[in-house]
Structure 1
Amino acid sequence: MSRPLRIAILECDTPLNNANTKYDGYYGIFSRLLRASAKALGQPDKLDPETGLEISRWDVVNGDKYPNLEDIDAILMTGSKHDSFADIPWINKLVEFTKKVLSQDRVRIIGVCFGHQILGRALGVKVGRSDVGWEISVCEMDLTDKGKELFRRDKLRLQQMHRDIVFYYPPNVVPLGSSPRCAVQGMYSPRRFITVQGHPEFTEDIVSEILEARSKAGVFTEDEYKEAMARVGNEHDGIAVGVAFLRFLIEE
Protein backbone atom coordinates (compact mmCIF):
# COMPACT_ATOMS: atom_id res chain seq x y z
CA MET A 1 0.00 0.00 0.00
CA SER A 2 1.24 3.48 -0.79
CA ARG A 3 0.13 4.80 2.60
CA PRO A 4 -0.56 3.27 6.01
CA LEU A 5 -3.77 1.37 6.70
CA ARG A 6 -5.78 3.75 8.90
CA ILE A 7 -7.71 1.88 11.60
CA ALA A 8 -9.91 3.69 14.13
CA ILE A 9 -10.31 1.68 17.32
CA LEU A 10 -13.64 2.48 18.96
CA GLU A 11 -13.03 1.74 22.64
CA CYS A 12 -16.31 0.48 24.10
CA ASP A 13 -15.00 -0.12 27.62
CA THR A 14 -11.95 0.22 29.87
CA PRO A 15 -10.03 -2.94 30.89
CA LEU A 16 -9.61 -3.86 34.54
CA ASN A 17 -6.83 -2.10 36.44
CA ASN A 18 -3.86 -4.38 35.80
CA ALA A 19 -4.59 -4.82 32.10
CA ASN A 20 -5.37 -1.13 31.67
CA THR A 21 -2.05 -0.14 33.23
CA LYS A 22 -0.01 -2.75 31.37
CA TYR A 23 -1.49 -2.32 27.90
CA ASP A 24 -2.91 1.25 27.82
CA GLY A 25 -6.58 0.41 27.40
CA TYR A 26 -8.22 -1.57 24.63
CA TYR A 27 -6.42 0.69 22.19
CA GLY A 28 -3.13 -0.73 23.40
CA ILE A 29 -4.41 -4.31 23.57
CA PHE A 30 -5.65 -4.22 19.98
CA SER A 31 -2.64 -2.28 18.71
CA ARG A 32 -0.47 -5.08 20.09
CA LEU A 33 -2.57 -7.72 18.31
CA LEU A 34 -2.64 -5.84 15.00
CA ARG A 35 1.11 -5.17 14.95
CA ALA A 36 1.93 -8.78 15.82
CA SER A 37 -0.51 -9.92 13.16
CA ALA A 38 1.09 -7.63 10.57
CA LYS A 39 4.40 -9.41 11.21
CA ALA A 40 2.73 -12.82 11.01
CA LEU A 41 1.00 -11.83 7.77
CA GLY A 42 4.40 -11.74 6.11
CA GLN A 43 3.44 -9.46 3.22
CA PRO A 44 5.57 -6.33 3.77
CA ASP A 45 4.95 -5.23 0.18
CA LYS A 46 1.25 -4.92 1.01
CA LEU A 47 1.43 -4.14 4.74
CA ASP A 48 4.74 -3.20 6.32
CA PRO A 49 4.74 -4.31 10.00
CA GLU A 50 6.70 -1.22 11.02
CA THR A 51 5.07 1.55 8.99
CA GLY A 52 1.89 0.06 7.53
CA LEU A 53 -0.54 0.70 10.39
CA GLU A 54 -1.89 4.05 11.55
CA ILE A 55 -4.06 3.32 14.58
CA SER A 56 -6.22 5.93 16.30
CA ARG A 57 -8.33 5.63 19.45
CA TRP A 58 -11.86 6.84 20.11
CA ASP A 59 -13.53 6.63 23.52
CA VAL A 60 -17.16 6.14 22.49
CA VAL A 61 -18.38 5.54 26.06
CA ASN A 62 -17.27 8.80 27.66
CA GLY A 63 -16.71 10.91 24.55
CA ASP A 64 -19.07 12.00 21.81
CA LYS A 65 -16.61 12.25 18.92
CA TYR A 66 -16.32 9.72 16.11
CA PRO A 67 -13.80 9.59 13.27
CA ASN A 68 -14.55 11.20 9.92
CA LEU A 69 -14.93 8.38 7.43
CA GLU A 70 -12.80 10.29 4.95
CA ASP A 71 -9.84 10.02 7.33
CA ILE A 72 -9.90 6.26 7.96
CA ASP A 73 -9.99 2.93 6.14
CA ALA A 74 -11.60 0.82 8.87
CA ILE A 75 -13.20 0.87 12.29
CA LEU A 76 -12.63 -1.77 14.93
CA MET A 77 -15.28 -2.04 17.66
CA THR A 78 -13.96 -3.62 20.86
CA GLY A 79 -15.52 -5.82 23.48
CA SER A 80 -17.29 -4.37 26.51
CA LYS A 81 -18.89 -5.27 29.84
CA HIS A 82 -21.93 -3.27 28.72
CA ASP A 83 -25.05 -4.74 27.12
CA SER A 84 -25.08 -4.40 23.33
CA PHE A 85 -28.90 -4.39 23.44
CA ALA A 86 -29.16 -1.55 25.98
CA ASP A 87 -31.26 1.50 25.10
CA ILE A 88 -28.84 4.16 26.35
CA PRO A 89 -27.43 7.18 24.51
CA TRP A 90 -23.84 6.14 23.81
CA ILE A 91 -24.80 2.64 22.65
CA ASN A 92 -27.61 3.99 20.47
CA LYS A 93 -25.15 6.46 18.96
CA LEU A 94 -22.66 3.66 18.27
CA VAL A 95 -25.36 1.64 16.51
CA GLU A 96 -26.27 4.66 14.36
CA PHE A 97 -22.61 5.26 13.49
CA THR A 98 -22.26 1.60 12.53
CA LYS A 99 -25.27 1.95 10.23
CA LYS A 100 -23.58 5.00 8.68
CA VAL A 101 -20.46 2.97 7.95
CA LEU A 102 -22.57 0.14 6.52
CA SER A 103 -24.29 2.58 4.18
CA GLN A 104 -21.08 3.29 2.27
CA ASP A 105 -18.67 0.93 0.52
CA ARG A 106 -15.11 2.02 1.34
CA VAL A 107 -14.56 2.01 5.12
CA ARG A 108 -14.63 -1.54 6.48
CA ILE A 109 -15.71 -2.85 9.87
CA ILE A 110 -14.15 -5.27 12.35
CA GLY A 111 -16.30 -6.26 15.31
CA VAL A 112 -15.10 -8.20 18.37
CA CYS A 113 -17.49 -9.60 21.03
CA PHE A 114 -19.61 -6.54 21.97
CA GLY A 115 -18.58 -5.03 18.63
CA HIS A 116 -19.77 -8.19 16.85
CA GLN A 117 -23.11 -7.83 18.61
CA ILE A 118 -23.39 -4.11 17.80
CA LEU A 119 -22.94 -4.95 14.13
CA GLY A 120 -25.66 -7.58 14.42
CA ARG A 121 -27.95 -5.01 16.03
CA ALA A 122 -27.15 -2.46 13.31
CA LEU A 123 -28.12 -5.09 10.74
CA GLY A 124 -31.48 -5.53 12.44
CA VAL A 125 -31.16 -8.90 14.17
CA LYS A 126 -31.83 -9.79 17.80
CA VAL A 127 -29.02 -9.51 20.33
CA GLY A 128 -29.38 -10.35 24.00
CA ARG A 129 -28.75 -12.82 26.82
CA SER A 130 -28.10 -16.41 25.87
CA ASP A 131 -30.35 -19.06 27.42
CA VAL A 132 -27.32 -21.25 28.11
CA GLY A 133 -25.26 -18.73 30.08
CA TRP A 134 -21.61 -17.82 29.91
CA GLU A 135 -18.95 -18.96 27.45
CA ILE A 136 -15.60 -18.19 29.08
CA SER A 137 -11.86 -18.84 28.75
CA VAL A 138 -10.31 -20.69 25.80
CA CYS A 139 -13.02 -22.51 23.85
CA GLU A 140 -13.08 -24.35 20.55
CA MET A 141 -15.53 -23.61 17.77
CA ASP A 142 -16.48 -25.31 14.53
CA LEU A 143 -15.87 -23.32 11.37
CA THR A 144 -17.87 -23.08 8.19
CA ASP A 145 -16.10 -23.53 4.86
CA LYS A 146 -15.64 -19.75 4.63
CA GLY A 147 -14.39 -19.65 8.23
CA LYS A 148 -11.79 -22.32 7.43
CA GLU A 149 -10.73 -20.35 4.37
CA LEU A 150 -10.41 -17.01 6.16
CA PHE A 151 -8.78 -18.22 9.38
CA ARG A 152 -6.80 -21.02 7.70
CA ARG A 153 -7.74 -23.43 10.45
CA ASP A 154 -10.04 -26.48 10.58
CA LYS A 155 -11.25 -25.41 14.02
CA LEU A 156 -10.71 -22.18 15.91
CA ARG A 157 -9.77 -21.73 19.56
CA LEU A 158 -10.26 -18.30 21.13
CA GLN A 159 -10.57 -16.70 24.54
CA GLN A 160 -14.26 -16.09 25.25
CA MET A 161 -15.97 -13.82 27.77
CA HIS A 162 -19.67 -13.44 27.02
CA ARG A 163 -23.21 -14.45 27.81
CA ASP A 164 -24.80 -12.13 25.23
CA ILE A 165 -25.14 -13.36 21.67
CA VAL A 166 -26.31 -12.52 18.19
CA PHE A 167 -29.28 -14.87 17.88
CA TYR A 168 -29.21 -15.48 14.13
CA TYR A 169 -27.41 -14.42 11.00
CA PRO A 170 -28.68 -11.34 9.17
CA PRO A 171 -29.72 -11.79 5.52
CA ASN A 172 -26.88 -11.96 2.99
CA VAL A 173 -24.24 -12.45 5.69
CA VAL A 174 -21.75 -15.32 5.48
CA PRO A 175 -21.56 -17.46 8.67
CA LEU A 176 -18.03 -18.15 9.93
CA GLY A 177 -18.49 -20.54 12.84
CA SER A 178 -20.43 -21.84 15.81
CA SER A 179 -19.95 -23.44 19.21
CA PRO A 180 -22.26 -25.41 21.51
CA ARG A 181 -23.00 -22.22 23.47
CA CYS A 182 -23.16 -19.76 20.59
CA ALA A 183 -24.50 -20.41 17.09
CA VAL A 184 -23.23 -17.11 15.65
CA GLN A 185 -19.49 -16.99 16.32
CA GLY A 186 -18.57 -14.82 13.36
CA MET A 187 -20.08 -12.84 10.48
CA TYR A 188 -18.56 -11.87 7.16
CA SER A 189 -19.40 -9.79 4.14
CA PRO A 190 -16.61 -9.36 1.57
CA ARG A 191 -15.00 -5.91 1.64
CA ARG A 192 -17.62 -4.75 4.16
CA PHE A 193 -17.17 -6.41 7.56
CA ILE A 194 -15.77 -9.31 9.54
CA THR A 195 -16.65 -10.13 13.15
CA VAL A 196 -15.92 -12.68 15.86
CA GLN A 197 -17.70 -13.31 19.15
CA GLY A 198 -14.45 -14.42 20.78
CA HIS A 199 -11.48 -12.31 21.85
CA PRO A 200 -8.38 -12.73 19.64
CA GLU A 201 -6.77 -9.82 21.51
CA PHE A 202 -7.05 -11.33 25.00
CA THR A 203 -4.05 -12.84 26.75
CA GLU A 204 -3.92 -15.24 29.67
CA ASP A 205 -3.26 -12.44 32.17
CA ILE A 206 -6.15 -10.30 30.90
CA VAL A 207 -8.66 -13.14 31.11
CA SER A 208 -7.35 -14.35 34.49
CA GLU A 209 -7.92 -10.90 35.94
CA ILE A 210 -11.50 -10.83 34.64
CA LEU A 211 -12.22 -14.35 35.89
CA GLU A 212 -10.91 -13.55 39.37
CA ALA A 213 -12.83 -10.28 39.62
CA ARG A 214 -16.09 -11.78 38.42
CA SER A 215 -15.69 -14.83 40.64
CA LYS A 216 -15.25 -12.60 43.70
CA ALA A 217 -18.30 -10.59 42.63
CA GLY A 218 -20.39 -13.77 42.41
CA VAL A 219 -20.87 -13.57 38.64
CA PHE A 220 -19.30 -17.00 38.12
CA THR A 221 -19.89 -20.04 40.30
CA GLU A 222 -16.89 -21.69 41.93
CA ASP A 223 -17.13 -24.56 39.42
CA GLU A 224 -17.31 -22.17 36.46
CA TYR A 225 -14.32 -20.25 37.76
CA LYS A 226 -12.16 -23.32 38.38
CA GLU A 227 -13.01 -24.90 35.05
CA ALA A 228 -12.28 -21.66 33.18
CA MET A 229 -9.01 -21.08 35.03
CA ALA A 230 -7.89 -24.58 34.06
CA ARG A 231 -8.19 -23.58 30.38
CA VAL A 232 -7.13 -19.92 30.51
CA GLY A 233 -3.53 -20.64 29.55
CA ASN A 234 -4.36 -22.98 26.68
CA GLU A 235 -3.00 -22.20 23.24
CA HIS A 236 -5.40 -20.16 21.10
CA ASP A 237 -5.60 -18.72 17.60
CA GLY A 238 -5.71 -15.01 18.33
CA ILE A 239 -2.91 -14.14 15.92
CA ALA A 240 -4.53 -16.21 13.15
CA VAL A 241 -7.69 -14.16 13.58
CA GLY A 242 -5.66 -10.93 13.60
CA VAL A 243 -4.00 -11.99 10.35
CA ALA A 244 -7.43 -12.73 8.86
CA PHE A 245 -8.59 -9.25 9.91
CA LEU A 246 -5.65 -7.65 8.10
CA ARG A 247 -6.07 -9.79 4.96
CA PHE A 248 -9.70 -8.68 4.94
CA LEU A 249 -8.69 -5.01 5.23
CA ILE A 250 -6.12 -5.07 2.42
CA GLU A 251 -8.19 -7.19 0.03
CA GLU A 252 -8.87 -5.26 -3.17
Structure 2
Amino acid sequence: MVAIISNAAAAKKSRQFALLMAARDSEYVLKRYGGYRNVFVAAFGDAGSGETWDLYRAVDGELPAQEDLEKYDGFVISGSPNDAYADDEWILRLCRLIRDLHARRKRVLGICFGHQVICRALGGRVAKSSTGWDIGIREVAVANLSLPRQCGFLEALRDQLPPRAKITEIHQDEVWEVPAGAEVLASSAKTGVEMFRVGEHLLGIQGHPEYTNDILVSLVNRLLGAGTISVSVAEAVKKQLDATGPDREFWLKLCKSFLKADESYSI
Protein backbone atom coordinates (compact mmCIF):
# COMPACT_ATOMS: atom_id res chain seq x y z
CA MET A 1 0.00 0.00 0.00
CA VAL A 2 2.84 2.41 0.80
CA ALA A 3 4.36 1.83 -2.64
CA ILE A 4 1.03 2.51 -4.37
CA ILE A 5 0.56 5.80 -2.49
CA SER A 6 4.11 6.85 -3.29
CA ASN A 7 3.61 6.15 -7.00
CA ALA A 8 0.35 8.13 -7.03
CA ALA A 9 2.04 11.04 -5.31
CA ALA A 10 4.90 10.91 -7.81
CA ALA A 11 2.45 10.93 -10.72
CA LYS A 12 0.65 13.94 -9.26
CA LYS A 13 3.94 15.85 -8.97
CA SER A 14 4.63 15.41 -12.68
CA ARG A 15 1.95 17.93 -13.68
CA GLN A 16 3.21 20.39 -16.32
CA PHE A 17 1.84 23.70 -17.60
CA ALA A 18 2.85 26.01 -20.43
CA LEU A 19 2.62 29.79 -20.07
CA LEU A 20 2.30 31.49 -23.47
CA MET A 21 3.38 35.09 -22.89
CA ALA A 22 1.84 37.55 -25.34
CA ALA A 23 3.56 40.55 -23.75
CA ARG A 24 7.12 41.44 -22.84
CA ASP A 25 8.12 41.96 -19.21
CA SER A 26 7.82 45.56 -18.06
CA GLU A 27 10.69 47.17 -16.20
CA TYR A 28 8.52 47.34 -13.08
CA VAL A 29 7.48 43.67 -13.14
CA LEU A 30 11.06 42.55 -13.80
CA LYS A 31 12.34 44.56 -10.85
CA ARG A 32 9.51 43.75 -8.44
CA TYR A 33 8.65 40.14 -9.39
CA GLY A 34 11.43 38.91 -11.68
CA GLY A 35 9.10 38.81 -14.69
CA TYR A 36 5.50 37.95 -15.52
CA ARG A 37 6.19 34.22 -15.35
CA ASN A 38 6.63 34.55 -11.60
CA VAL A 39 3.41 36.56 -11.36
CA PHE A 40 1.43 33.82 -13.10
CA VAL A 41 3.05 30.98 -11.18
CA ALA A 42 2.37 32.76 -7.88
CA ALA A 43 -1.26 33.20 -8.92
CA PHE A 44 -2.11 29.85 -10.54
CA GLY A 45 0.61 27.52 -9.31
CA ASP A 46 0.71 25.43 -6.15
CA ALA A 47 3.94 25.78 -4.21
CA GLY A 48 5.39 22.47 -3.08
CA SER A 49 3.22 20.41 -5.45
CA GLY A 50 6.11 19.56 -7.77
CA GLU A 51 4.33 21.00 -10.82
CA THR A 52 6.40 22.77 -13.47
CA TRP A 53 5.65 25.88 -15.54
CA ASP A 54 7.43 26.34 -18.85
CA LEU A 55 7.57 29.83 -20.36
CA TYR A 56 7.09 30.41 -24.10
CA ARG A 57 7.38 33.98 -25.32
CA ALA A 58 4.63 33.83 -27.93
CA VAL A 59 5.03 37.55 -28.67
CA ASP A 60 8.53 36.75 -29.92
CA GLY A 61 7.37 33.78 -31.99
CA GLU A 62 8.20 31.13 -29.38
CA LEU A 63 5.61 28.36 -29.05
CA PRO A 64 5.81 24.74 -27.87
CA ALA A 65 6.71 22.19 -30.51
CA GLN A 66 3.98 19.89 -31.80
CA GLU A 67 5.65 16.87 -30.24
CA ASP A 68 5.61 18.56 -26.81
CA LEU A 69 1.92 19.49 -26.66
CA GLU A 70 0.69 16.25 -25.12
CA LYS A 71 3.03 16.49 -22.16
CA TYR A 72 1.25 19.58 -20.83
CA ASP A 73 -1.77 19.35 -18.55
CA GLY A 74 -2.80 22.91 -19.36
CA PHE A 75 -1.90 26.13 -21.15
CA VAL A 76 -2.29 29.75 -20.07
CA ILE A 77 -2.30 32.63 -22.58
CA SER A 78 -1.47 36.01 -21.06
CA GLY A 79 -2.67 39.52 -21.72
CA SER A 80 -0.96 41.76 -24.25
CA PRO A 81 -0.84 45.37 -25.49
CA ASN A 82 -1.42 43.93 -28.98
CA ASP A 83 -4.81 43.51 -30.65
CA ALA A 84 -6.06 39.93 -30.80
CA TYR A 85 -7.65 40.67 -34.20
CA ALA A 86 -4.37 41.87 -35.74
CA ASP A 87 -2.63 39.80 -38.40
CA ASP A 88 0.91 39.80 -37.00
CA GLU A 89 2.53 36.46 -37.83
CA TRP A 90 2.98 35.50 -34.16
CA ILE A 91 -0.74 36.08 -33.52
CA LEU A 92 -1.72 33.98 -36.53
CA ARG A 93 0.59 31.19 -35.35
CA LEU A 94 -0.94 31.41 -31.87
CA CYS A 95 -4.42 31.09 -33.41
CA ARG A 96 -3.35 27.95 -35.24
CA LEU A 97 -1.97 26.51 -32.00
CA ILE A 98 -5.23 27.26 -30.18
CA ARG A 99 -7.20 25.40 -32.84
CA ASP A 100 -4.81 22.46 -32.49
CA LEU A 101 -5.17 22.45 -28.69
CA HIS A 102 -8.96 22.65 -29.07
CA ALA A 103 -8.91 19.61 -31.36
CA ARG A 104 -6.82 17.77 -28.77
CA ARG A 105 -9.19 18.87 -25.96
CA LYS A 106 -6.28 20.34 -24.02
CA ARG A 107 -7.12 22.80 -21.23
CA VAL A 108 -6.44 26.40 -22.24
CA LEU A 109 -7.03 29.41 -20.00
CA GLY A 110 -7.00 32.80 -21.75
CA ILE A 111 -6.53 36.04 -19.80
CA CYS A 112 -7.54 39.39 -21.42
CA PHE A 113 -5.78 39.19 -24.82
CA GLY A 114 -5.70 35.41 -24.28
CA HIS A 115 -9.49 35.41 -23.79
CA GLN A 116 -9.90 37.44 -26.97
CA VAL A 117 -7.49 35.43 -29.12
CA ILE A 118 -9.20 32.14 -28.16
CA CYS A 119 -12.44 33.71 -29.35
CA ARG A 120 -10.86 34.90 -32.60
CA ALA A 121 -9.12 31.56 -33.28
CA LEU A 122 -12.40 29.65 -33.01
CA GLY A 123 -14.40 31.97 -35.24
CA GLY A 124 -15.78 34.53 -32.78
CA ARG A 125 -15.59 38.29 -33.16
CA VAL A 126 -13.22 40.63 -31.31
CA ALA A 127 -13.01 44.41 -31.73
CA LYS A 128 -12.37 47.68 -29.91
CA SER A 129 -14.96 48.63 -27.32
CA SER A 130 -17.31 51.36 -28.48
CA THR A 131 -17.05 52.94 -25.03
CA GLY A 132 -13.26 53.12 -24.81
CA TRP A 133 -10.87 51.92 -22.13
CA ASP A 134 -12.03 49.84 -19.18
CA ILE A 135 -9.53 50.32 -16.37
CA GLY A 136 -9.96 49.60 -12.69
CA ILE A 137 -11.99 47.26 -10.52
CA ARG A 138 -15.19 46.09 -12.18
CA GLU A 139 -18.02 44.01 -10.79
CA VAL A 140 -19.17 41.24 -13.10
CA ALA A 141 -22.37 39.24 -12.96
CA VAL A 142 -21.86 35.48 -13.00
CA ALA A 143 -24.41 33.62 -15.15
CA ASN A 144 -27.00 31.41 -13.52
CA LEU A 145 -25.57 28.09 -14.64
CA SER A 146 -27.86 25.18 -15.39
CA LEU A 147 -25.31 22.52 -16.27
CA PRO A 148 -25.61 18.77 -16.74
CA ARG A 149 -23.89 16.54 -14.22
CA GLN A 150 -21.15 15.73 -16.73
CA CYS A 151 -19.92 19.33 -16.91
CA GLY A 152 -16.73 18.87 -14.92
CA PHE A 153 -15.19 21.71 -12.95
CA LEU A 154 -18.13 24.11 -13.42
CA GLU A 155 -20.62 21.57 -12.10
CA ALA A 156 -18.39 21.05 -9.06
CA LEU A 157 -18.27 24.81 -8.45
CA ARG A 158 -21.81 25.78 -9.43
CA ASP A 159 -23.21 25.91 -5.91
CA GLN A 160 -20.21 27.96 -4.73
CA LEU A 161 -20.25 30.62 -7.46
CA PRO A 162 -21.28 34.06 -6.19
CA PRO A 163 -23.83 36.05 -8.23
CA ARG A 164 -21.32 38.91 -8.60
CA ALA A 165 -17.55 39.25 -8.23
CA LYS A 166 -15.05 42.10 -8.67
CA ILE A 167 -12.05 41.74 -10.96
CA THR A 168 -9.16 43.92 -12.17
CA GLU A 169 -9.63 45.21 -15.73
CA ILE A 170 -7.35 47.06 -18.16
CA HIS A 171 -8.39 46.73 -21.80
CA GLN A 172 -9.89 48.56 -24.74
CA ASP A 173 -10.63 45.52 -26.94
CA GLU A 174 -13.36 43.04 -26.11
CA VAL A 175 -15.24 39.99 -27.34
CA TRP A 176 -18.23 41.07 -29.40
CA GLU A 177 -19.44 37.61 -30.39
CA VAL A 178 -18.40 34.27 -28.90
CA PRO A 179 -17.58 31.29 -31.13
CA ALA A 180 -20.27 28.80 -32.10
CA GLY A 181 -20.91 26.41 -29.23
CA ALA A 182 -19.45 28.73 -26.58
CA GLU A 183 -21.31 29.72 -23.40
CA VAL A 184 -21.06 33.15 -21.80
CA LEU A 185 -20.38 32.71 -18.08
CA ALA A 186 -20.11 36.34 -16.89
CA SER A 187 -20.82 39.87 -18.08
CA SER A 188 -20.64 43.44 -16.78
CA ALA A 189 -22.34 46.75 -17.45
CA LYS A 190 -19.43 47.74 -19.72
CA THR A 191 -18.41 44.42 -21.29
CA GLY A 192 -20.92 41.88 -22.52
CA VAL A 193 -18.54 38.89 -22.41
CA GLU A 194 -16.40 38.90 -19.27
CA MET A 195 -15.97 35.12 -19.23
CA PHE A 196 -16.86 32.28 -21.59
CA ARG A 197 -16.16 28.60 -22.00
CA VAL A 198 -16.03 26.12 -24.84
CA GLY A 199 -16.72 22.67 -23.47
CA GLU A 200 -14.75 21.92 -20.35
CA HIS A 201 -11.36 22.62 -21.88
CA LEU A 202 -11.33 26.28 -23.00
CA LEU A 203 -11.95 29.18 -20.62
CA GLY A 204 -11.57 32.88 -21.36
CA ILE A 205 -11.57 35.66 -18.75
CA GLN A 206 -11.48 39.30 -19.83
CA GLY A 207 -10.12 40.63 -16.53
CA HIS A 208 -6.79 39.95 -14.84
CA PRO A 209 -7.07 37.52 -11.90
CA GLU A 210 -3.27 37.42 -11.69
CA TYR A 211 -2.73 41.17 -11.23
CA THR A 212 -1.93 42.68 -7.88
CA ASN A 213 -2.94 46.30 -7.26
CA ASP A 214 0.63 47.57 -7.64
CA ILE A 215 0.90 46.01 -11.11
CA LEU A 216 -2.29 47.78 -12.14
CA VAL A 217 -0.97 51.11 -10.81
CA SER A 218 2.30 50.59 -12.70
CA LEU A 219 0.40 49.98 -15.95
CA VAL A 220 -1.82 53.00 -15.36
CA ASN A 221 1.28 55.15 -14.85
CA ARG A 222 2.77 53.84 -18.12
CA LEU A 223 -0.43 54.63 -20.04
CA LEU A 224 -0.51 58.08 -18.47
CA GLY A 225 3.14 58.73 -19.33
CA ALA A 226 2.51 57.68 -22.93
CA GLY A 227 -0.45 60.04 -23.18
CA THR A 228 -2.85 57.13 -23.75
CA ILE A 229 -5.11 58.03 -20.84
CA SER A 230 -5.80 61.31 -19.07
CA VAL A 231 -4.71 62.42 -15.61
CA SER A 232 -8.33 62.29 -14.46
CA VAL A 233 -8.69 58.64 -15.53
CA ALA A 234 -5.45 57.66 -13.80
CA GLU A 235 -6.43 59.47 -10.60
CA ALA A 236 -9.88 57.86 -10.64
CA VAL A 237 -8.36 54.37 -10.83
CA LYS A 238 -5.98 55.07 -7.95
CA LYS A 239 -8.78 56.55 -5.86
CA GLN A 240 -10.91 53.48 -6.54
CA LEU A 241 -8.09 51.18 -5.42
CA ASP A 242 -7.97 53.05 -2.11
CA ALA A 243 -11.63 52.21 -1.58
CA THR A 244 -11.99 48.69 -2.94
CA GLY A 245 -10.18 45.75 -4.54
CA PRO A 246 -10.87 42.65 -6.63
CA ASP A 247 -12.24 39.39 -5.26
CA ARG A 248 -8.86 37.95 -6.13
CA GLU A 249 -9.07 34.81 -4.02
CA PHE A 250 -12.28 33.79 -5.79
CA TRP A 251 -10.79 34.27 -9.28
CA LEU A 252 -7.55 32.46 -8.46
CA LYS A 253 -9.42 29.45 -7.09
CA LEU A 254 -11.68 29.43 -10.13
CA CYS A 255 -8.67 29.43 -12.49
CA LYS A 256 -6.92 26.72 -10.51
CA SER A 257 -10.03 24.56 -10.44
CA PHE A 258 -10.22 24.85 -14.23
CA LEU A 259 -6.55 24.09 -14.90
CA LYS A 260 -6.47 21.28 -12.33
CA ALA A 261 -10.00 19.96 -12.61
CA ASP A 262 -9.14 16.64 -10.96
CA GLU A 263 -8.29 18.46 -7.74
CA SER A 264 -10.64 20.15 -5.26
CA TYR A 265 -10.51 23.96 -4.85
CA SER A 266 -13.31 25.14 -2.60
CA ILE A 267 -14.58 28.65 -3.30
**What TM-score, normalized to structure 2?**
0.83
CA distance in 2, matches of 1:150, 1:244: 13
Larger Rg: 2
Structure 2, unaligned runs of 5 or more:
1-7, 146-153, 263-267
Return the match for 1:221 from 221, 225, 230: 230
Quick check: 1:60–1:66 contact (8 Å CA) kept in 2? Answer: no
Deviation at 1:103? 1.0
Return the offset for 1:176.
Answer: 1.2
Runs of 4+ in 1 over 4 A off after TM superposition: none
Q: Is this contact kept in 2: 1:14–1:20, CA < 8 A?
A: no
Q: For 1:1-252, what aligned pairs fall within 5 Å after superposition?
A: 2-4=11-13, 5-35=15-45, 38=46, 49-67=47-65, 68-105=68-105, 107-146=106-145, 149=158, 152-233=161-242, 234-251=244-261
Write the distance in 2 (CA, Å) between the matches of 1:190 and 1:151.
Answer: 20
Distance 1:151 1:198, change over 3 A: farther
**C-alpha distance in structure 2 between counterparts of 1:14 and 1:23, whole Å:** 14
Deviations 1:120-158 (A, max 9, x none): 001111111110111111111111023883872221111
Normalising to structure 1: TM-score of the pair? 0.88
- 1:223 Cα deviation from its structure 2 partner: 2.0
Distance in 2 (alpha carbons) for counterparts of 1:62 and 1:250: 28
Contact 2:140 2:186 in 1 (8 A): yes
What amino acid does structure 1 have at the position aligned with 2:222? A
Q: In structure 1, how many angstroms separate the alpha carbons of the residues matched to 2:229 and 2:258?
A: 36
Q: CA deviation at 1:31?
A: 0.4
Structure with larger RCO (C-alpha < 8 A, sep 6+) = 1
**What is the one-letter code of the residue matched to 1:208?**
V
Aligned residue identity for 2:108: I
CA distance in 1: counterparts of 2:188 and 2:117, whole angstroms: 20
Partner AA of 1:141 in structure 2: V
Aligned partners of 1:179, 1:222: CA distance in 2, in Å? Answer: 25
CA distance in 2, matches of 1:111, 1:238: 17
In 1: Cα distance, 2:259 partner to 2:44 partner: 12
Q: Residue 138 of structure 1 contacts residue 236 of structure 1 at CA under 8 Å; is this kept in 2?
A: yes
**What SS does the corresponding residue of 2:180 show, helix, strand or coil?**
coil
CA RMSD of aligned residues (A): 1.9
The answer to whether the 8 A contact 2:125-2:179 is kept is: no
What CA deviation, in whole Å up to 9, does each residue of 1:150-188 have, x standing for no partner?
A: 872221111101010010222221211111211010011
Q: Do the aligned partners of 1:151 and 1:244 also contact (CA within 8 Å) in 2?
A: no
Opposite residue 109 of structure 1, the aligned amino acid is: V
Taking the aligned partners of 1:34 and 1:135, their CA distance within structure 2 comes to 24
**CA deviation after TM superposition for structure 1 residue 11, in Å:** 0.7
User: Is residue 207–residue 232 contact of structure 1 (8 Å, CA) maintained in 2?
Assistant: no
Summarize the Cα distance change of 1:64–1:151 in structure 2 as closer, same or farther, 3 Å threshold: farther
Shift of 1:241: 1.5
- How many residue pairs match? The answer is 239
Q: Which amino acid aligns with 1:56?
A: D
| SS at structure 2 position matched to 1:183 | coil
